[in-house]
Copies of this chain bind each other. A is one copy, B any other.
Amino acid sequence: MTKLIFIGLGLFDGSDISYKGLKTLEKVDKIYAEFYTAKMAENALSKIESLIIKKIEILDRDEVENGELILSQALEKNVAFLCQGDPLTATTHIDLLLQAKQKNIEIQIIHSSSVVTAVPGLLGLQFYKFGRTTTLALPEGDYFPESPYDVILQNKKIGLHTLVLLDIQVNSNERRYMTANEAIELLLKISKKREDSTLNEKTLMCVVARAGSMNPAIAAGSAGELIKQDFGEPLHSLVVPGKLHFKEAEAIMILANAPKELVDELQ
């Protein structure tokens, strides 16, 4: 019986894949990668190709979403499907998994690292104090969904932190990654429009850029201060803290240079 094996590439470059994932790639007959929503180091896939001495075929969005090519191949041979992060955090990948199950293709999942645990950890914030995660979308003209703001409010009201993931927009050949600066600007815009003061220029926020790389940016400060800083290359993520445990307070001061007066307000 043939298999479809979902393998996570992890956070940042070609060496964040697990050893198990790499060894598995050496054994499969065909390797596809979903890379259109990914932002990894430029040479991530070619680095893996040189380690396993095999070619990886990059699929476009349609090919991943309709799944035909991958599934028809997986009915005949052992196929690996590579994607950034932990493989089943994206809905599209769960869809592909379900389609494969319905065709009685055997499935294996090889997990990997994800921003979801990496970002809280790099800031020294406790994972079990995070509420629901949200994604902020890039505005289309004047329009942008405000629901992430509601998620932050809901979490903050019960003292929880919010991990805010930032949109990646892929148009034909161009990609745009939302910066933490754009994200903060957008949140302040919503707060002004609603005349809601929960988030304002003095609110403590945290930024992590390039989690998983050798030089992640890890910063905390007022929204007004952070918006002026340059966090460098993508991907950026934002955290809006709720109540801080004293250990967390200590951690974001040491790890992210959070100003004491803002930290004290949240204790």
Residue numbers of A with Cβ under 8 A of B are 8, 10-11, 13, 15-20, 22-23, 51, 85-89, 91, 94-95, 97-98, 101-102, 108-109, 111-114, 116-118, 120-122, 124, 126-135, 154, 158, 160, 211-212, 214, 247, 250-251, 254-255
Which of B13, B19, B86, B94 has a CB less than 8 Å from the CB of A118? B86
> Which residue of chain B lies nearest to A21 when distances are taken between CB atoms in the complex?
B19
Contact A131 B132, CB 8 Å, known A18-B15, A101-B255: yes
Q: Which residues on B sit within 8 Å (CB–CB) of A127?
A: 89, 116, 133
Contact A91 B132, CB 8 Å, known A18-B10, A111-B212, A113-B113: no
> Which residue of chain B lies nearest to A8 when distances are taken between CB atoms in the complex?
B113
What separation, in Å, do the CA atoms of A251 and B91 have in the docked complex? 11
What separation, in Å, do the CA atoms of A132 and B155 have in the docked complex? 9
Q: Which residues on B sit within 8 Å (CB–CB) of A118?
A: 86, 88, 109, 111
Tell me how many chains of this kind the complex includes: 2
Q: Which residues on B sit within 8 Å (CB–CB) of A19?
A: 15-19, 22, 51
Q: Are B117 and A16 touching (Cβ within 8 A)?
A: no
Minimum CB–CB distance from A249 to chain B (whole Å) comes to 11
Q: Are B109 and A112 touching (Cβ within 8 A)?
A: no
What separation, in Å, do the CA atoms of A111 and B135 have in the docked complex? 22
> Which residue of chain B lies nearest to A255 when distances are taken between CB atoms in the complex?
B101
Q: Which residues on B sit within 8 Å (CB–CB) of A160?
A: 132
Contact A124 B94, CB 8 Å, known A19-B17, A113-B112: yes
Q: Which residues on B sit within 8 Å (CB–CB) of A113?
A: 8, 18, 86, 111-114
Q: Can you pick out 5 interface pairs between chain A and chain B where the beta carbons lie within 8 Å of each other? A: A17-B19, A88-B121, A89-B127, A97-B255, A98-B255
Minimum CB–CB distance from A42 to chain B (whole Å) comes to 16
Minimum CB–CB distance from A71 to chain B (whole Å) comes to 15
What separation, in Å, do the CA atoms of A196 and B94 have in the docked complex? 34
Most central of A20, A87, A255 by chain B CB within 10 Å: A20
Which of B94, B117, B154 has a CB less than 8 Å from the CB of A158? B154
Which of B111, B128, B130 has a CB less than 8 Å from the CB of A16? B111
Which of B97, B131, B134, B251 has a CB less than 8 Å from the CB of A94? B251
Contact A134 B128, CB 8 Å, known A19-B15, A112-B113: yes
